[in-house]
Structure 1
Amino acid sequence: MTDVAALAQVSQKTVSRVVNGEPYVREEVRQRVQDAIKELDFRPNAAARSLVTRRTRRIGVVALGTTFHGPMSALAALESVARADGYSLSVHRTESTDRDEIQSAVDTLLNEGVEGVVLSEPKQLEAPPLQVRADVAVLTLGALGLTAREDELVVGTDEESGGRLATEHLLALGHRTVHHLAGPQAWVSSRLRQQGWTSALREHGAEIPEAVTGDWTPRSGFEAMTQLLTTTTPTAVFVANDQMAIGAMSAIARQGLTVPGDISIVGFDDIDVTEFLPTPLTTLRQEFTHAAHRGMNALIRTIDGDAPQDVPDLVPLSFVNRSTTASPTPAGTTDNR
């Protein structure tokens, strides 16, 4: 800092004010200091600065230790917004839905001096709600809050409506009912998508078949569809995510059937590969990045003392109509039982 002050011909206190974004510095002086910082490649010491400002500009994230598309996309978006606003992330990954393990991760982050906490835990937690100090802003990415805080920010994607959209699309094509390959029931996302599927069938007076459960992976989709085909030949199937849908389409081909000629398929997520499959997958696009950006921006505003009055909690999904759905063939307007 001494070298920057000497080059800019100002005091070290003025350099400190510029670095910390304080007011009451003339624009000409501020520019001179910034030019000196750039020329000298000066990097402020975050630890030292926090001692002066009592701000760590650090946000803690508690996230499930998984490589699945949704959680990873959200984490990347959180980091992007934080970095752009001058914040760093401290990420603690958990391996289970054990409430005590997650609370311990939150407590560790609080002890590190984070100014905000993001809870990105897609599974249903055991009671009671998580505890986060009232002076630390908290954001939950998902449809349901995880703390008892009235000021908890809750932002997610509208997954129940997504399940409804997928089902209504298939019913509108003339299918009398829609089968479902569900995700693991411990995941909130899986239950919300299944609720949307059930609600749409009920509202249209259609039979509600028993769902077959997988674990989000292509292999589980293959196995779930193989199991389904041992009892019936459905004309339409809504699959809880794209990876399972890819496995399900493989199982259909293995049985000598075609998509969408014999069975229509709708996935969920719109992962990159779906557009380039031999038969491009019709699916629901989750705006993970949009939701994470919206939530993180609201969290940072709250930390900075400008809490937004109205934060839309659910981001709508987009229906992506490709090539895996069609009207049932005349002989296939009902399931073969």
Structure 2
Amino acid sequence: MDATHDSPPQAPRRGRRVSRSSASMADVARLAGVSSQTVSRVSNGYAGVNEETRRQVLDAMRELGYRPNSAARALKRGEFRTLGVITFSLSTTGNVRTLEAIATAAAAEGYAVTLLPLAVPTQDEVRGAFSRLQELAVDAVIVIMEVHLLDAATINMPPRVQVVVADSDAGDRYTVVDTDQAGGSRTAVEHLLGLGHHTVWHLAGPEDSYAAQRRSDAWQATLTEAGRPVPPLVRGDWSAESGYRAGLELAAREECTAVFTANDQMALGLLRALHESGRRVPQDVSVIGFDDIAEASSFLPPLTTVHQDFAEVGRLCVQAVLRKLRHDDTPHGTTLVPTRLIIRESAAPPGAQ
């Protein structure tokens, strides 16, 4: 019998030659001298097949070039063990590191990842991505983008596909995992005020970014609660080049002694602009970034910055979406991953030597 306990394998039965491109389970069974049921059990990794039989079946698969039909097995089980990830940018540090963490966490749970990158962050592109999901074998989707792009009424979610969103404020409509943007920003501003700066200027991210808005809101609220003046906001687009352009503007303001920058890349451009303008960091201007990219400790001077745990965000996204797969009635909500301030050499009391 070829059930739980296999009898010793028979000698392989040699028969007709089979094309490697057309080998079937029956062909493998015939060559290995076992039943199709045993081949199926080996293909699906079930226990109860003795090792000699298993090796014989695997040898026959290799000889014939047979590959188990994973799609058919998935349909039979009702799952594909694949997660889709939709994101519109692979150029930002946060998205790349979050995606890497998602792939690692998914693999640890026995899931593969299918990436659907968007060319531009528009509702048409998002609709197209969800349409493509109808054709792909995915069990759930993790979305790394601004949530307003999901608000288009014409977006049709694939049936029974669960969705988790990273970097969003949509906890009432989707399950959300995010960094504590506000908490990290508050810590940065309070640190600069604690060093003795009268106020803190802010180099913000793009206007349509949820993360940028959360950080600038927290900057303003912290200054207001401390009874400090709120300087005019200066805006960039996350790039070092935009930080450089904004930095030239800030360097021309003698009253600017401290800047909280919404990400480390813009802080890099700001540092260059301050240096070229003859403003020393941190003696004349203190600078704090946000992200704690790998290169932050190699900036000149090494950058004080808010550390985001992208690995934890990715892990929790996978954990949340698998929980929803296993329990459809899991309520929506938001999980915030704490930040911490990494103190280096780019921030000091005003006038420090």
What's the TM-score once normalised by structure 2's chain length? 0.81
Q: 1:255-298 CA distances to partner (integer Å, 9 max, x unpaired)?
A: 11211111111001111111122311000111112111111122
Is contact 2:177-2:313 (8 Å) kept? yes
Residue number among 319, 322, 329 corresponding to 2:341 in the alignment: 319
Residues matched between the structures, number: 324
Equivalent residues in 2 for 1:209-288, closer than 5 Å: 209-288=231-310
Is 1:144 the counterpart of 2:169? The answer is yes
Gap change, CA 1:288 and 1:235, over 3 Å in 2:
same
Q: 1:286-318 CA distances to partner (integer Å, 9 max, x unpaired)?
A: 111211111112212332458767976110112
Is contact 1:61-1:120 (8 Å) kept? yes
- Report the residue type matching 2:133 in the other structure: L
- Report the residue type matching 2:93 in the other structure: H
Is 1:64 the counterpart of 2:62? The answer is no
Distance 1:128 1:170 in 2: 41
Which position in structure 1 is the counterpart of 2:208? 186
Is contact 1:143-1:158 (8 Å) kept? no
Is 1:118 the counterpart of 2:142? The answer is yes
Gap change, CA 1:133 and 1:277, over 3 Å in 2:
same
- Residue 108 (structure 1) shift: 1.5
Distance 1:65 1:328 in 2: 38
- Report the residue type matching 2:69 in the other structure: N
Gap change, CA 1:323 and 1:55, over 3 Å in 2:
same
SS at match of 1:271: coil
Distance 2:263 2:145 in 1: 18
- Residue 46 (structure 1) shift: 1.8
- Residue 87 (structure 1) shift: 2.4
Is contact 1:274-1:280 (8 Å) kept? yes
Which position in structure 1 is the counterpart of 2:99? 75
Q: 1:77-127 CA distances to partner (integer Å, 9 max, x unpaired)?
A: 222222333322222222333223212211221232421111111474374
Distance 1:317 1:229 in 2: 29
Is 1:106 the counterpart of 2:130? The answer is yes
Is contact 1:267-1:283 (8 Å) kept? yes
Is 1:87 the counterpart of 2:111? The answer is yes
Gaps of 5+ in 2: 1-24
Is contact 1:261-1:328 (8 Å) kept? yes
Gap change, CA 1:106 and 1:278, over 3 Å in 2:
same
- Residue 234 (structure 1) shift: 1.1
Of all paired residues, the percent bearing the same amino acid is: 35
- Residue 35 (structure 1) shift: 5.9
- Residue 30 (structure 1) shift: 7.1
Distance 1:259 1:138 in 2: 44
SS at match of 1:102: helix
Q: Looking at CA atoms only, which structure, 1 or 2, has the larger radius of gyration?
A: 2
- Residue 168 (structure 1) shift: 0.8
Residue number among 37, 40, 57 corresponding to 1:16 in the alignment: 40
Is the deviation greater in 252-261 or in 115-124?
115-124
Gap change, CA 1:330 and 1:272, over 3 Å in 2:
closer
Gaps of 5+ in 1: 332-337
Gap change, CA 1:206 and 1:54, over 3 Å in 2:
same
Aligned-CA RMSD value: 3.1
